[in-house]
Structure 1
């Protein structure tokens, strides 16, 4: 197993099963393209502009393997932390059609099945009859490669020089020849149809264009302009971002940002990711390489790119495709059951890198990285962490929690003490809708337990809940109904919501058609016991909450009734018997805290007794 510490050292790319063979310096004008090739899908580059040929000296990795006798000896100058330089970053890995024996197992077989032949990935060539469909587009044995895009790319745009090349296509600069955009420079991603060798690859292109159209209205998403096709290629026309990657800015600053500058970056990332999650979109490949600056100005806006691995997630749905980039992948992705919380883990990794210049999880091989993600804890002891504020450390820890239920959402993170700004508008959080839905379906006993817990939460948590309540625009009597939830959602709606079926959540809020919810009840409905458990003050919160529960909600309850409340079978009776006090038949403190978690018990201890 490779070293699982927050240090990165130069190693030979030969150790990586899926690393790129190019060892271009980070200062190379084409480094961002040559080292991010995606073998699985015919789209990769979004709105990138050519980088200047020369840049300030950066702590980038040498192109040869390290001769250091020990992994603890850094080849970098004194005072410079190991940087997240590109040459050692493994390429994105593939969706696996079947569960592997181990989440860290290499997936070369899957790569060979889905990627076109390369010198390192030769597969027998089986000839297929090639036919011409009615639109003149080449089709391999029935694969429909028509997208319904415009056919007049050449009449609308004049292609310029190529600025990047990936495994399935390349990106070029172009100039609009007519219309409102006449004379404007744009970025064009060109995807050859000959590379679309499977229905999955074709659907990937359709989905990416659909997402770009739906999400491009946000300040921090790359703007989508047009999509065209001809018999040979698909052309995706986007905003040209001339400021380069976030990764390059990190490197140009010696490998890390100051706390204040890091806040500016993280706030922009959280804003756009919160917007995506509200629409029911999970990005699934958040990393510094996938954020571009719109211009070279120091205060330029940050833009999220590359929705090639993104997907629509329906309410309460769990995804199981193993996709992403090794250093940024969340543990639950490797376990093949995840949702939007996986993006929050990736943001935690990015923030960790911004603050200290090192990766929180590192190893020499991809499988070693996976083991580190699953088992190791980030290092907060080495420099510069002792000089970083406690609020910043807490912020990162609340993202890099291996239990996805304990992580903050993007909207919650914007109200964290490290980032809090009373002048900043907090975005609507789809998570509150999901919590309210669960609350309305809960039993009266469970609601009483949550109401007691809501009275014990800290002011930091109340600030977030209040911001969400205000976004619902309560009526004059200070209460909200189903109409308030619906209106707030519609104010933020895009076409992506239709694909992800976010509106289905409103059907579960139907009880609010007949009654209203005041702020006190909204607090009870929108708190998560799992997230509160991640707080350092959880023990005090739980003790205080139990005091309220004893006064207002605790009652005599039988083992059979408690098991039914928690949807447990009779085989769990021996476990939950200890949660009821023999003296009065009411829940003990242990029983109260366990009861708040519900299904956790059934998924772990109870199953061992079945």
Structure 2
């Protein structure tokens, strides 16, 4: 999973009796703790939080994953004092496309009716859970919290909850409508993630990032031109290095990515990137820059031409001055040097890039003196030379 609103899995370590996951560090605390502290959110803060959560859900649904246990505790703020939320903990998640699910699981008070009926086949149950979360943010109470689990289950199945006048009298009609359209018993009538993102309550209160993108298009263009011209080996290295960006650098870049990917489930369509840059990056005669358009056309991001967050960060890294960032190069080398032998072998590359990667083809693009074979390994020094200079 690679999205600004999904916590990054950094590494996996397997022992005989234990599997350890290393996640991106999130220091801002849980959304649950923020609710305990604030009691209730303003509509502006609640809509911003809902927008963040919906973007993460829209992305995982686009990837064919249903979360099945969304709750306040599973959204974390990235830094103290920050309002930027990320989704964590995919322990109960499942690839759902083409499947009919019959497991009743998750945290009861957030669980959708169709999950309790053990009959669901899409990500609609995540939208019900988000409805519960947003009701808590705006109202300050849990909508389905009866004395016994049996009573709670009956209330959920019936969609029986109350909007207390004392808490909801000052909430806008759009805010109330948003919650009600998520807490619909029939999943076919419930808002989808895309529909929820387009709801007026979200669109009018989420704010805009257009000004940032207006000032960032030149850097984006330069990055994708450099990325398109790079060898496949350099691109692979950039993919690994992208997560070595500082927190502040990622904060700036992620805003541009979010704006570009807003309408496509958390990915950027190559044709949309081309259209955006074509209209804003021109040559001296005011015409679309041919070098830029050629670079965009050269990009290959799979059969659907979808640019994911890791691809976007890697492209932005392509126009960075790495000479001053030797530590990043060394960290990348250590990740590629899987067995710690001090050089990168063909087997090492295959292990990092995956079984489907054309490692021999990638190697063939390197200068002859850097071909990776057991008798002529790629060292840290040659990694620096071969990956940055094309």
Residue of structure 1 aligned with 2:51, choices 267, 271, 291: 267
Return the alpha-carbon distance in structure 2 between the equivalents of residues 489 and 296 of structure 1: 37
Task: Give the corresponding residue for 1:36.
Answer: none
Task: Give the corresponding residue for 1:427.
Answer: 263
Distance 1:221 1:371, change over 3 A: same
Return the alpha-carbon distance in structure 1 between the equivalents of residues 309 and 25 of structure 2: 23
Contact 1:290 1:305 (C-alpha < 8 Å) held by counterparts: yes
Task: Give the corresponding residue for 1:460.
Answer: none
Q: 1:554-569 counterparts in 2 under 5 A?
A: none
SS across alignment from 1:354 = helix
1:398 has 2:181 as partner: yes
Contact 2:12 2:22 (C-alpha < 8 Å) held by counterparts: yes
Task: Give the corresponding residue for 1:242.
Answer: 27
Q: Tell me how far 1:276 sits from its aligned partner.
A: 0.2
Contact 1:353 1:360 (C-alpha < 8 Å) held by counterparts: yes
Contact 2:47 2:202 (C-alpha < 8 Å) held by counterparts: yes
Return the alpha-carbon distance in structure 2 between the equivalents of residues 473 and 415 of structure 1: 24
Task: Give the corresponding residue for 1:13.
Answer: none
Distance 1:487 1:392, change over 3 A: farther
Bigger proportion of residues as helix: 2
Deviation by residue 1:385-431 (Cα, 9 ceiling, x = unmatched)? 1110000000001100001011111122111111115846433259x
Deviation by residue 1:356-402 (Cα, 9 ceiling, x = unmatched)? 11111121122221111012422124321111000000000110000
Distance 1:473 1:322, change over 3 A: farther
Distance 1:349 1:471, change over 3 A: farther
Residue of structure 1 aligned with 2:74, choices 276, 286, 290: 290
Distance 1:376 1:284, change over 3 A: closer
Q: Tell me how far 1:314 sits from its aligned partner.
A: 1.7
Deviation by residue 1:104-140 (Cα, 9 ceiling, x = unmatched)? xxxxxxxxxxxxxxxxxxxxxxxxxxxxxxxxxxxxx
Distance 1:320 1:262, change over 3 A: same
Deviation by residue 1:162-189 (Cα, 9 ceiling, x = unmatched)? xxxxxxxxxxxxxxxxxxxxxxxxxxxx
1:491 has 2:306 as partner: yes
Return the alpha-carbon distance in structure 2 between the equivalents of residues 384 and 257 of structure 1: 11
Distance 1:472 1:396, change over 3 A: farther
Deviation by residue 1:479-498 (Cα, 9 ceiling, x = unmatched)? xxxxxxx9894405699xxx
SS across alignment from 1:243 = coil
SS across alignment from 1:308 = coil
Residue of structure 1 aligned with 2:5, choices 208, 215, 220: 220
The alignment of Structure 1 onto Structure 2 pairs a total of residues equal to 229
1:252 has 2:252 as partner: no
In structure 1, runs of 5+ residues without a counterpart are 1-214, 431-467, 475-485, 496-610
Alignment root-mean-square deviation, CA: 2.8
Task: Give the corresponding residue for 1:335.
Answer: 117
Query: What TM-score do the two structures reach when normalised by structure 2?
Result: 0.54
Contact 2:159 2:185 (C-alpha < 8 Å) held by counterparts: no
Contact 2:3 2:309 (C-alpha < 8 Å) held by counterparts: no
Contact 1:275 1:427 (C-alpha < 8 Å) held by counterparts: no
Contact 2:40 2:137 (C-alpha < 8 Å) held by counterparts: yes
Contact 1:471 1:488 (C-alpha < 8 Å) held by counterparts: no
Query: What TM-score do the two structures reach when normalised by structure 1?
Result: 0.35
Contact 1:274 1:427 (C-alpha < 8 Å) held by counterparts: no
Distance 1:488 1:410, change over 3 A: farther
Contact 1:472 1:488 (C-alpha < 8 Å) held by counterparts: no
Return the alpha-carbon distance in structure 2 between the equivalents of residues 286 and 393 of structure 1: 20
Q: Tell me how far 1:293 sits from its aligned partner.
A: 1.0
Contact 1:329 1:342 (C-alpha < 8 Å) held by counterparts: yes
Task: Give the corresponding residue for 1:366.
Answer: 149
Return the alpha-carbon distance in structure 2 between the equivalents of residues 471 and 351 of structure 1: 32
SS across alignment from 2:20 = strand
Q: 1:567-606 counterparts in 2 under 5 A?
A: none
Contact 2:67 2:92 (C-alpha < 8 Å) held by counterparts: yes
Residue of structure 1 aligned with 2:171, choices 367, 388, 404: 388
SS across alignment from 1:240 = coil
Contact 2:3 2:308 (C-alpha < 8 Å) held by counterparts: no
Distance 1:391 1:488, change over 3 A: farther
Contact 2:58 2:194 (C-alpha < 8 Å) held by counterparts: yes
Return the alpha-carbon distance in structure 2 between the equivalents of residues 418 and 235 of structure 1: 40
Residue of structure 2 aligned with 1:355, choices 135, 138, 142: 138
Task: Give the corresponding residue for 1:143.
Answer: none
Task: Give the corresponding residue for 1:318.
Answer: 100
Contact 2:159 2:184 (C-alpha < 8 Å) held by counterparts: no
Q: Structure 1 segments of 4 or more deviating over 3 A?
A: 421-425, 470-474, 486-490, 492-495
Return the alpha-carbon distance in structure 1 between the equivalents of residues 309 and 84 of structure 2: 22
The structure with the largest alpha-carbon Rg is 1
Residue of structure 2 aligned with 1:281, choices 22, 42, 65: 65
SS across alignment from 1:404 = coil
Contact 1:279 1:494 (C-alpha < 8 Å) held by counterparts: no
Contact 1:279 1:493 (C-alpha < 8 Å) held by counterparts: no
